[in-house]
A and B are shown apart, each in its own frame.
Chain A
Amino acid sequence: MNVLWLQSGGCGGCSMSLLCADTTDFQGHLRDGGVNLLWHPSLSMASGEEVIALLHSVLDGGTRLDALCVEGSLLRGPHGTGRFHMLAGTGLPMIHWVRELAAKAAHVLAVGSCAAWGGITAGGDNPTDACGLQYEDDRLGGLLGADFRSGSGLPVINIAGCPTHPSWVIDTLMALAADGFAADDLDPLNRPRFYADQLVHHGCTRNEYYEFKASAEKPSDLGCMMEHMGCKGTQVHADCNTRLWNGEGSCTRGGYACIACTEPGFQEPGHPFHETPKLAGIPIGLPTDMPKAWFVALASLSKSATPKRVKNNAVADHLVVKPAVRKTRLK
Chain B
Amino acid sequence: MSRLLVGPFNRVEGDLEVSLDIADGRVTSAQVNATMYRGFEQILQGKAPHDALVYVPRICGICSVSQSVASARALADLGGIAMPANGQHATNLILATENLADHLTHFYLFFMPDFARPVYAAHPWHAEAVRRFAPDHGEQVRAATAARQRWLTLLGTLGGKWPHTQSVEPGGSTRAIDAAERVRLLAKVREFRGFLERQLFAAPLETVAALETEAALWDWHAQDPLGGDLRFFLTLVRDLQLDTLGPGPGRYLSYGAYAQPGGGWALPGGVWRTQTGEVEVLNPRVITEDATHAWLAHAREPLHPLHGITRPEPDKPGAYTWNKAPRLGGQVVETGAIARQLTSGMPLVRDAVARHGGTVYTRVLARLIELARVVPMMEDWLQAIRPTEAFCVPTTLPDEGSGVGLSEAARGSLGHWLVVRRGRIANYQIVAPTSWNFSPRDAAGTPGALEQALVDAPVREGEQTPVAVQHIVRSFDPCMVCTVH
Contact = CB atoms under 8 A, between A and B. Distances in A.
Interface of A: 7-17, 19-28, 31, 37, 39-52, 75, 78, 81, 83-91, 94, 120-121, 123-125, 127-128, 130, 162-163, 218-220, 240, 244-256, 259, 261, 272-274, 317-318
Given A45-B117, A120-B58, A220-B391, A248 B157 contact: yes
Interface string B139-181: 0011001101100111111011111111101011111101000
Top 5 nearest A-B pairs by Cβ distance?
A254-B160, A13-B61, A88-B7, A255-B174, A48-B465
B392 interface: yes
Given A26-B145, A218-B392, 10 more contacts: A9-B36, A10-B481, A19-B105, A45-B134, A47-B8, A85-B37, A220-B391, A249-B157, A249-B160, A254-B160
A37 B160 contact: no
Contact of B9 (A19, A47, A254): A47
Interface string B300-334: 00000000000010100000000000000000000
A219 B160 contact: no
Residue in A8, A51, A81, A127 with the greatest tally of chain B CB atoms within 10 Å:
A127
A27 B60 contact: no
Interface of B: 5-11, 13-17, 33, 35-39, 42-48, 50-51, 53-55, 58-62, 64, 105, 109-110, 113, 116-117, 134-137, 141-142, 145-146, 148-149, 152-157, 159-167, 169, 171-176, 178, 312, 314, 387-388, 390-392, 394-395, 464-465, 470, 481
B43 A127 contact: yes
B146 A259 contact: no
B167 A254 contact: yes
A220 B113 CA distance: 42
Contacts of A125: 42
B429 to A, nearest CB: 15
Residue in B6, B46, B137, B166 with the greatest tally of chain A CB atoms within 10 Å:
B166
Given A163-B164, A220-B172, A273-B51, A78 B159 contact: no
A84 to B, nearest CB: 5
A48 B149 contact: no
Given A51-B10, A128-B39, A130-B38, A12 B62 contact: yes
12 contacts: A9-B38, A16-B163, A19-B105, A26-B146, A26-B149, A89-B8, A124-B47, A163-B163, A253-B175, A256-B174, A272-B50, A273-B51
Contacts of B142: 25-28
A249 B177 CA distance: 13
A61 to B, nearest CB: 22
A124 B43 contact: yes
Contact of A249 (B44, B145, B159): B159
Given A12-B13, A48-B9, A220-B391, A246 B152 contact: yes
Contacts of B47: 124
A19 B48 CA distance: 33
A255 B160 contact: yes
A89 B6 contact: yes
A315 B39 CA distance: 38
B37 A128 contact: yes
A306 B62 CA distance: 43
Nearest to B102: A16
Contacts of A10: 61, 481
A220 B312 contact: no
Contacts of B37: 75, 84-85, 128
Given A17-B163, A249-B161, A220 B155 contact: no
Given A25-B146, A87-B15, A162-B58, A45 B152 contact: no
A146 B68 CA distance: 36
Contacts of B161: 240, 245-246, 249-251, 254
B157 A247 contact: yes
Nearest to B46: A124
A217 B256 CA distance: 33
Contact of A12 (B61, B117, B146, B155): B61
A100 to B, nearest CB: 16
B83 to A, nearest CB: 11
Residue in B44, B58, B134, B161 with the greatest tally of chain A CB atoms within 10 Å:
B161
Nearest to A222: B176
Contact of A120 (B13, B14, B55, B171): B55
Residue in A75, A248, A259 with the greatest tally of chain B CB atoms within 10 Å:
A248
B160 A253 contact: yes
Nearest to A121: B38
Residue in B48, B110, B153, B163 with the greatest tally of chain A CB atoms within 10 Å:
B163
A125 to B, nearest CB: 8
Residue in B37, B46, B160, B172 with the greatest tally of chain A CB atoms within 10 Å:
B160
Nearest to A266: B54
B61 A256 contact: no
B54 A259 contact: yes
Contacts of A245: 156, 160-162
Contacts of A31: 136
B166 A256 contact: yes
Contacts of B464: 48-49
Contacts of A42: 10-11, 13, 109-110
Contacts of B176: 220, 255, 317-318
Contacts of B14: 7, 12
Contact of B17 (A16, A19, A88, A259): A88
Nearest to A253: B160
Residue in B135, B390, B395 with the greatest tally of chain A CB atoms within 10 Å:
B135
Nearest to B181: A248
Contacts of A219: 169, 171-172, 174, 392, 394-395
A128 B157 CA distance: 36
B177 to A, nearest CB: 9
Given A83-B314, A88-B8, A127-B312, A256 B160 contact: yes
B164 A162 contact: yes
Given A47-B470, A255-B160, A15 B61 contact: yes
B54 A41 contact: no
Residue in A7, A37, A48, A75 with the greatest tally of chain B CB atoms within 10 Å:
A48
Contacts of A218: 392, 394
A255 B11 CA distance: 33
Given A13-B60, A45-B116, A24 B160 contact: no
A127 B45 CA distance: 11
Contact of B465 (A20, A47, A84, A90): A47
A274 B391 CA distance: 18
B170 to A, nearest CB: 9
B113 A45 contact: yes
Contacts of A12: 13-14, 60-62, 481
Given A45-B135, A220-B175, A24 B163 contact: no
B35 A244 contact: no
A88 B7 CA distance: 5
A246 B175 CA distance: 15
A219 B46 CA distance: 23
Contacts of B136: 27, 31, 37, 43-45
Nearest to A37: B136
B112 to A, nearest CB: 11
